Structure 1
């Protein structure tokens, strides 16, 4: 019985440790740098594209757009961002807060809109110092005048204050899980390039409106900062002052890494080309040697072949002497025959003449005897 209890306790402990390991893996999947999960340029873009602050809050929390990737309370759900506003004379201070728990909020950024004496509107998007470092500020330059400006300076204007809080959200909203930072950056870049490509965002390190600074000092909410005071941007990044300097450092590191890669590739490619050239030269030299050997062997062989026929031709020419001998001997024999014939031919006519003379003599005798007989008769 005791052994069974021990086995059960061991199995349960192993199971619990595995579940904890899985939970730890899920939590560690989110990036430790908080400022990577909300790009203030996109916040400025959708602000200029909104009709009013209610529409601006809706776009901040639209599950289709997914502008934010913040999960400060680590519940594996992207935090809802609520919008509140304070107004003093011609200055509007818009505060973006992350809803963490019941009556627990953390300021993320502020949008300071002010109209000067020349009716020129100045706007700055300021990141919270706890999350983005000191003086992390963008000034958007909109291609067209935002519609939201028309709603600010009207008679009997009432500042906007979000009516949504913890577990009380609008019908269009549903929480989504945070995803890796590289995917969030890809989504942000698509939003900036596709929908807001005509706008520009200039970085500055000083605030223009002193009125907005005074208003914010009495309206700030820092629930997350009070829970984790040692997790500020200055503690997370000791070598830079704000998020902009961190981006510059990252870009320089990436550029140096890419340059080192290109240089190493350039160094590697000449070695490869030299080795390839040496290999190709060796290959070309080897065929040249073999071709020379082949040509020499072919030449020797051809010379031998040519010399051998020349010898045979000489032998054949010598055989010509034999043929000449053969031809000369028949000529000698034929000459001898002709001479013999010539020697014999003169004798034959003489015989014929003698016979003819004899015949003629006998004929003459016969004729004479016949004539004498006739006469005697």
Structure 2
């Protein structure tokens, strides 16, 4: 019975789990991810790699390394990641490093700028500014490096010459090879490992170098902006100002979705738990009912079998008792039959043995006494005894009579002879 109960519980749990899975499928919330162009190049990763580079040439090699895949930009939609070239512009204590995507023959699009300014105390402030067409206006990160990069000092040497990338469309360095862009969510998880988290990256919307746009206007690349003016960040995202606001909105929507999903999951879990509990209670009650019914059936069958066996036993006992009683009765009758003649015989023999002694105790009595004793003996004794006693007594009486007769006269004649 326990196996049957466990089987019912297992079937109920399996049914509830299938119902839970179907319910979760039916209540699954799909959050649409409207990815933006700005999702394909993380400026914190750019600032981190800039601080680890030996010079700007090494910096360009690092951001285009196919094994690292720092960039995921495909602005010309040719299903290949665009090559990013580096162009530097300098003026007194200010350096502006422009990062441009190579889109075609003599077609470039500015992606971001690294703006450096040396103070009087020879400290250098660095800001990584996203292009307003891609990231929106005033999307800026200030990196604070835990160790000052070694190549910062060479920017202000008298012999220093600004770096200008020699690579263009169809002519790339030997280390470079094309690769296809990865999904944005995978890129976010991938790029996280390429950020040096010992540094600090502070977001700000205050741009230090107001003249930076004027400084690199001669090398500005805006081919994509001119070809697609309606694809600017403001056109793509009407309700947010820049990428920072977009990230905040996404975080809020994710938190709301998580709360909603958590509440729905809690409701679903409570409903599922109540369903499971109801199913378990139903299963247990059915199991108990079946157990009770089967127990009752068992008890009734056992009682019936016991009653039958007890009735059969009683019947057999009654038959045995009756047989024993009949046997006892027959035994008593045989005993009474066998005991009665013996007792009567014993009584008769005792009477007979006692009475002849009495009769033979008076042999010298007269004829009157012998006559009186002879009839008494014949009456009390059996015929055998009367037969045996009568001749003896007659003989004795005859002798006595003969003597009387002789005395009367006959005996005298015999004696005379």
Match of residue 229 from structure 2:
229
Structure 1, residues 288-315: CA drift from partner, whole Å, max 9, x if none? Answer: 2233333333333444444445545554
Is the contact between residue 136 and residue 243 of structure 1 (CA under 8 Å) also seen in structure 2?
yes
The change in CA–CA distance for 1:311 and 1:78 in structure 2 (over 3 A counts) is closer
Give the count of matched residue pairs.
Answer: 325
Further displaced range: 330-339 or 234-243:
330-339
Match of residue 242 from structure 1:
242
Q: CA deviation at 1:73?
A: 3.1
Aligned mates of 1:277, 1:293 — CA distance in 2 = 23
Where 1:118 maps in the other structure, the secondary structure is coil
Aligned mates of 1:316, 1:183 — CA distance in 2 = 90
Match of residue 372 from structure 1:
none
The change in CA–CA distance for 1:294 and 1:84 in structure 2 (over 3 A counts) is closer
Structure 1, residues 311-332: CA drift from partner, whole Å, max 9, x if none? Answer: 4555455442552343144134
Aligned mates of 2:89, 2:348 — CA distance in 1 = 169
Q: CA deviation at 1:155?
A: 4.0
Is the contact between residue 91 and residue 211 of structure 1 (CA under 8 Å) also seen in structure 2?
no
Aligned mates of 1:53, 1:123 — CA distance in 2 = 15
Q: CA RMSD in A?
A: 3.2
Is the contact between residue 53 and residue 148 of structure 1 (CA under 8 Å) also seen in structure 2?
no
Further displaced range: 41-50 or 196-205:
196-205
Q: Structure 1: which 5+ residue stretches go unaligned?
A: 1-30, 359-377
Structure 1, residues 85-106: CA drift from partner, whole Å, max 9, x if none? Answer: 2223322211112223444322
Q: CA deviation at 1:212?
A: 3.8
Structure 1, residues 220-240: CA drift from partner, whole Å, max 9, x if none? Answer: 332322232222111111111
**TM-score w.r.t. structure 2 length?**
0.68
Is the contact between residue 132 and residue 233 of structure 1 (CA under 8 Å) also seen in structure 2?
yes
Is the contact between residue 35 and residue 184 of structure 2 (CA under 8 Å) also seen in structure 1?
no
Q: CA deviation at 1:127?
A: 0.3
Aligned mates of 1:313, 1:170 — CA distance in 2 = 110
Aligned mates of 1:316, 1:72 — CA distance in 2 = 107
Match of residue 338 from structure 2:
337
Match of residue 159 from structure 2:
156
Where 1:161 maps in the other structure, the secondary structure is coil
Matches within 5 A, 1:101-180: 101-180=104-183
Is the contact between residue 143 and residue 200 of structure 2 (CA under 8 Å) also seen in structure 1?
yes
Where 1:145 maps in the other structure, the secondary structure is coil
The change in CA–CA distance for 1:309 and 1:81 in structure 2 (over 3 A counts) is closer
Where 2:84 maps in the other structure, the secondary structure is strand
Aligned mates of 2:223, 2:307 — CA distance in 1 = 110
Q: Structure 2: which 5+ residue stretches go unaligned?
A: 1-33, 361-387, 389-417
Where 2:278 maps in the other structure, the secondary structure is helix
Further displaced range: 36-45 or 168-177:
168-177
Larger Cα Rg: Structure 1 or Structure 2?
2
The change in CA–CA distance for 1:77 and 1:338 in structure 2 (over 3 A counts) is closer
1:78 to 78, 81, 85: 81
The change in CA–CA distance for 1:297 and 1:165 in structure 2 (over 3 A counts) is closer
Match of residue 300 from structure 1:
300
